[in-house]
Amino acid sequence: MQGYRVTTRVDEMDLQVIHKFLANSYWAKDIPFSTLKRAIEHSLSFGVLTDQGEQVAFARVVTDRATYAYLADVFVIESHRAKGISKWLVQNIMAHPDLQGLRRITLATRDAHGLYSKMGFKPLAHPEMFMEVWKPDVYQRNRSWR
């Protein structure tokens, strides 16, 4: 995409920009910087940068790189939306060599079903098989370990 590039090099990403966005998101509200940094370091992370190096989008994949992946924390900074960046980012993720041949890739979204359905994602075929431990307010309740 002209004017942008995708990187998986964490040392090129602006963790402050990523943290600012995610700490204000509905899915990672108040995430501590140290927690986010650790999550990024232990994931296959993707950043979209402008040609000038400005961080404008991000996503990370939690994966064993053999059988399973979970796509998380996908966002595009508001001033760069409606340019096709999210679609391009997800296409790059799905084409990444470490994510080929996986048995399952999952994600959770409240409002981007249209984007992900274009990439082959569908509702769970057998939701009755899945279980979770869900603590949506964990970052608000555990302020002592920040």
CATH number reported for the structural domain that contains residue 101 in this entry: 3.40.630.30
Range 7-23 average pLDDT: 98
Class of residue 56 by CB neighbours under 10 A (exposed 0-12, middle 13-18, buried 19+)? buried
70-128 pLDDT, tens per residue? Answer: 999 999 999 999 999 999 999 999 999 999 999 999 999 999 999 999 999 999 999 99
58-83 pLDDT, tens per residue? Answer: 999 999 999 999 999 999 999 999 99
pLDDT at 136: 86
**Mean pLDDT over each residue of the chain, to the nearest integer:** 94
User: In angstroms, what CA-CA distances link 8 with 31, 63, 93, 139?
Assistant: 22, 14, 10, 26
Q: Which residue range forms the structural domain that includes residue 137?
A: 4-145
Q: Does an H or E element contain 76, and which? A: strand 68-76
Asked if pLDDT for residue 146 goes beyond 50, the answer is no
What total of structural domains would you count in the chain? 1
Range 41-67 average pLDDT: 98
Range 23-41 average pLDDT: 96
Q: What is the pTM of this model?
A: 0.92
